[in-house]
Amino acid sequence: MPAKTQQLDELLEPVVSSMDFEFVGLEYISQGRHSILRIYIDSDKGISVDDCADVSRQLSAVLDVEDPIATEYTLEVSSPGLDRPLFKLDQYERFAGEDVKFKTLRPQLDNGQRKFKGTIESVDKENQNIIFMVDGEQLVVPFANIDKANIIAKF
């Protein structure tokens, strides 16, 4: 996890948790002079627009005081949606058996492939690996090598 993302995660997660929401994770997309800070929240009751607005107000106050982002940015607060992003090792464990699409930071196979679709088989917490089933084959991916992962929505 990049240092800026880690810093924001540590700053904002306690605020979201104190409001009785699950802090799913965040995306910090630096785009030169204007960036996007996207926060994902969840709850057993689901997430409403009002929930997002309430969390946004609280996070804005903390961000204004702490000022961790030097440039202009847009704060977005959202539910994880049907194609839920996965940010933490325990989320992979929680969603074992689900189909996901994921992208690695470095090629995972000899052919240079970095984008995959598969099923989360299990999580090896001791070695920080996620075991996927991709095209009928087990693929062991170090958690640190996962750039982005989303559950594939089922209809």
Q: What is the pLDDT of residues 16-75, one digit of tens each?
A: 999 999 999 999 998 888 899 999 999 999 999 999 999 999 999 999 999 998 889 999
Residue in the block written with tokens 């689901």: 46
pLDDT tens track for 99-129 = 999 999 999 888 999 999 999 999 999 999 9
Token pair 């940010």: residue:
87
Q: What pTM value is reported for the model?
A: 0.89
Beta-ladder partners of 137: 134
Domain that residue 36 falls in: 3-78
Q: Is residue 83 part of a domain?
A: no
Query: Are 27 and 36 within 8 A, CB to CB?
Result: yes
Q: How many domains does the chain have?
A: 2
* CA distances in angstroms from 91 to 2, 30, 62, 86, 119, listed in the order given: 19, 25, 26, 6, 14
Same-domain pairing of 12 and 52: yes
